Structure 1
Amino acid sequence: MTPTDALPKVLDRIDADLDNSLARLFDFLKIQSISTDPAYADQCKSAAAFVARDLETLGLKAEMRPTSGHPVVIGKPEKPNGGPRVLFYGHYDVQPVDPLDLWQTPPFDPRIEDLGNGRKIIVARGACDDKGQLMTFLEACRAYKAVTGTLPLDITVMIEGEEECGSKGLFSFVKENADEFKLDMALVCDTAMWSPTTPMVTTSLRGLVYEDVTVTAADRDLHSGLFGGAAQNPIRVLTKALAAIHDDDGRITIPGFYDGVPELPDDIKADLKALNLTAEEFLGQIGLSIPAGEKGRLLIEMISTRPTCDINGIIGGYTGEGAKTVIASQAKAKVSFRLVGDQDPVKVQQAFRDFIRARIPADCKVEFENHGLAPALQLPFDSPAIVKTRKALQDEWGHKAVTVGAGGSIPIVGDFKRVLGMDSLMVGFALDDDRVHSPNEKYDLTSFHKGTRSWARILAALAG
């Protein structure tokens, strides 16, 4: 029986087994796997062991493999089944729960809450990020195993324990074991829906350049009454240079900055326009009303598929209470760029530094320090896997699945591409109000149930 032939029975199995699926998820959610706090190291090992035992029930050979930090759990098929080879990625660690007094119930005591109007939610730390999400995939696999006796694809599972504190151990692990994990495609569940009824495939992740800039003028702070008007003020020098980065239309003026920035295909842009994301809806919730990005661009382009530059912090001179008439000797700023398409982070870094240097007076000094260089990730919109996945999602949710770029990044996905040579299919079922990283984190019961059904459909589609 092919995965496609088995799909109706698999979906029925998912529906019939929902209560048991929730019980397994709740057992997982009770484990306090806070990765950033050494006090919870044993709990992280317990979560890894939970995942390993669960993978064994799916017919995978599971191991807890050591890293420089918490272990990564690997599940591999006993023997290849001849289908496409995929690597599923998720993480078992969670964020700290502080402030604890804002939780309505204990964060590791999962519960179902009825919000009325037929909406029920799962409340617990990790309910969405990422235990609930990764369990949608494992429960879909479990249903196939129950119905057909096997998994629909040649599936390798990689569940890490340090995503919430930087994935440092995983980066080295992937590089050291690259030959073992060079498969056909990665599947990533740590993403979201567009809306509670509209599914989404994340087709791009923005890259990053993060720079510290320090401008030094005089060899000490100066009395502004004695030196004002004659001595260079590094705060004025730096802010003038930073202000020149954007023109009045919101475009970035650094020469060569837009090299490698693609235009969206017409059909994809039409899909995004049809979502009708308005400034009132998006900015109104934070007390703003006027988009600050490039004029002539859709708001959704500004936050997902266009490059940006932001000044993340600036300091110089006296900032305490009261007055101090001083000309500072130094001014500092933190500046980040979000990259898209084929922008080269090294070239953007160099162009930025050249741009600032050209605006620094001859008797001042400028220094730079880098805190991050990462290229963007863009999947081809016409990828057969994406086309099949959009159809599978539409079949489950009854609405066309949109393809949207993520404004941020999932660092390990970049390594899957650069180190393993694999594209990643990024599908998740989180919602904007899931309170991820906040007290009272939740995951809609519909997201969990229909998310599981969605993965069953996607796996059948990919198996072909």
Structure 2
Amino acid sequence: MELQHFHDYFEENREKHLQELFEFLSIPSISSLSEHKQDVERAAQWLKNQLEQLNIENVSIDPTAGHPVVYGEWLHAEGKPTVLFYGHYDVQPVDPLNLWETEPFKPEIRENKLYARGASDDKGQVFMQLKAIEALFATLGTLPVNVKFLYEGEEEIGSAHLPAYIEENKEKLSADFVLISDTSMYGPGKPAICYGLRGLAGIQIDVRGANSDLHSGLYGGGVQNAIHALVEILSSFRDKNGKILVEGFYDDVRPLTEEERKAFADLQFDEEALKKELGVDELFGEEGYSFLERTWARPTLEINGIFGGFSGEGIKTVLPNEAGAKITCRLVPDQDPDKIVALLRRHIEKHTPKGVTVSVNEFDNGAPYLTPFDHPLIKAASRSYEKVYQVPAAFTRGGGSIPIVATFDQILKVPVVLMGFGLSTENFHAPNEHFHLENFDKGLRVLCDYLCEVSKLSL
């Protein structure tokens, strides 16, 4: 099928599609706020209706211990690959509301950008998957591949109940690969295929000294200060160049290949421009690695917050008896979050000063993920991007974490292809979230072409 046929279809139906997207974006499906529980369910019902209108079969709203999952399938492309579409229909809260130029759930187009909560993350991109299927049916009379759909309502609160759903339904969800549109392009007019994500391991350290705060004049110099003890522990984690000093931390790190390092270098990332944008004199990190390599393919250990003692106006001369810190580590293939937490516990125990006790509590845990960027599915995605955008697609890794991606890998044991159409500047999770309609228009055509490309592969 010529790309022009898809182009013509989307041109003819653009206003209709935008009005439908406006309906979807108008539903305040904020998963973290209990008062929006019915709105989340309304968004699930809206998706169910859309799938049924597309003649997708076995469409259902499946309950979980939290918000529901929407499922559907069409399996009549005999001998062709099966793709499992994944996305989420829940959105972030809108606070602070006063910073929005227009109401977050009243979509508005300004300067060819669609403003609304969820426009880019992820309702707009989920909607594109549906409309690509609609266009294929309309232009081909059928689909070139088999399709399944899995849309959840808890991504913005950590997908707490989705892994159990996937485990319980892994036969129903079986596919040749998972396709996700919930990532960003490299920049305006620069499509990107994200082939890897870092994992996550987080802990909270709580330090306790005496049984109460103490007068610094009566006890200072004679009793351990919980904050000083905490600082000593924290300073033991890294050297002055950012190298992590936890014994065994790097043991399982998969090194970058020379091909990957060249691909990153070819992106010609402007570190000087980044320094200016951030208002810093120097960037920081492991010696011997570029900024992209540090943030995409090297592990980290960061202090996210410190608490303890007196921080009000003026001064209070006490020895704090309690202090704490929150730590997160971004992990890379083949690091295991549970092993990293165990190494952190051992390191903290080894470096705890006398006079205090320390407890460590674990939170936020997700494995890293990597699909080889020479995989046929990745190469096919690159071809489709280039056909539409007329420039080669960049191969990138994501510095952040999408834990559910690793869940798909571990339970379904299939590749995950991340084909996003957002831009990092589109204010997702912030006021005035928006989606560039240029990428909405082009992305629809990319998705159609990609499914046709995939139909030619032997997987």
Query: Which category of TM-score, normalised to the shorter sequence, fits these structures?
Result: over 0.9
| Unmatched segments (≥5 aa) in structure 2 | none
| 1:43-64 Cα deviation digits (max 9, x unpaired) | 2222222211211232211211
Instruction: State the distance in 1 between where 2:408 and 2:75 align.
Output: 23
Aligned residue for 2:52? 56
8 A Cα contact 2:367 2:403, kept in partner: no
Aligned-partner Cα distance in 2 for 1:331–1:42: 40
Q: Which amino acid aligns with 2:248?
A: G
Matches of 2:114 and 2:78, distance apart in 1: 35
Q: Which stretch shows the higher mean deviation, 54-63 or 226-235?
A: 226-235
Shift of 1:299: 0.7
What fraction of aligned residue pairs are identical, expressed as a percent?
38
Please say which of residues 355-364 and 184-193 is displaced more in the overlay: 355-364
Quote how far apart the aligned CAs of 1:164 are: 1.9
1:7-30 CA-partner distances (Å, limit 9, x unpaired)? 442343233322222222122222
Query: What is aligned with 1:368?
Result: 360
Residue matched to 2:168: 176
The 1-side partners of 2:97 and 2:215 are apart by: 48
Q: Which residue of 2 aligns with 1:19?
A: 15
Letter in 2 for 1:152: P
- Aligned residues of 2:29 and 2:37 also touching (Cα < 8 A): yes
| Number of the residue aligned with 1:71 | 68
Report the count of equivalent residues. Answer: 455
Aligned letter for 1:201? I
Q: Is the CA contact 2:83–2:148 (under 8 Å) kept in the aligned structure 1? A: yes
Indicate the larger mover: 46-55 or 165-174.
165-174
Distance 2:232 2:434 in 1: 45
Unmatched 5+ residue regions in structure 1? 115-119
Distance (whole Å) between structure 2 residues aligned to residue 83 and residue 35 of structure 1: 36
Give SS of 2:35's match: helix
Structure 2 partner of 1:445: 437
Name the CA distance, whole Å, in 2 between partners of 1:276 and 1:7.
Answer: 31
- Work out which of the residue numbers 248, 251, 254 in structure 2 matches 1:262: 254
One of 20, 30, 40 as aligned partner of 1:44: 40
Alpha-carbon distance change, 228 to 393 in structure 1, aligned in 2, over 3 angstroms = same
Q: Could you tell me how far 1:362 is from its partner in structure 2?
A: 4.2
Aligned CA-pair RMSD? 1.8
**C-alpha separation in 2, matches of 1:276 and 1:68:** 46
Whether the aligned pair in 2 keeps the contact of 1:11 and 1:456 (CA below 8 Å) is no
Q: 1:7 to 1:168 in 2, by over 3 A?
A: same
The alpha carbon displacement at 1:298 in A equals 0.8
TM-score by length of 1: 0.93
TM-score, reference length from structure 2: 0.94
Match of 2:31 in 1: 35
One-letter identity of the residue aligned with 2:72:
G
Say whether 1:151 aligns with 2:147.
no
Q: Secondary structure at the match of 2:400?
A: coil
CA distance in 2, matches of 1:463, 1:294: 43
**Superposition map of 1:94-113 within 5 A:** 94-113=91-110
CA distance in 2, matches of 1:22, 1:182: 32
Amino acid of the structure 1 residue aligned with 2:71: I
Q: CA deviation at 1:87?
A: 0.5
Structure 2 match to 1:228: 220
Question: Are 1:294 and 2:291 matched, yes or no?
Answer: no
- State how 1:154-169 maps to structure 2 within 5 Å: 154-169=146-161
Contact 1:212 1:335 in 2 (8 A): yes
CA contact (8 A) 2:223 2:355 kept: no
Distance 1:69 1:215, change over 3 A: closer
C-alpha spacing 1:285/1:79, structure 2 compared with 1 (3 Å)? same
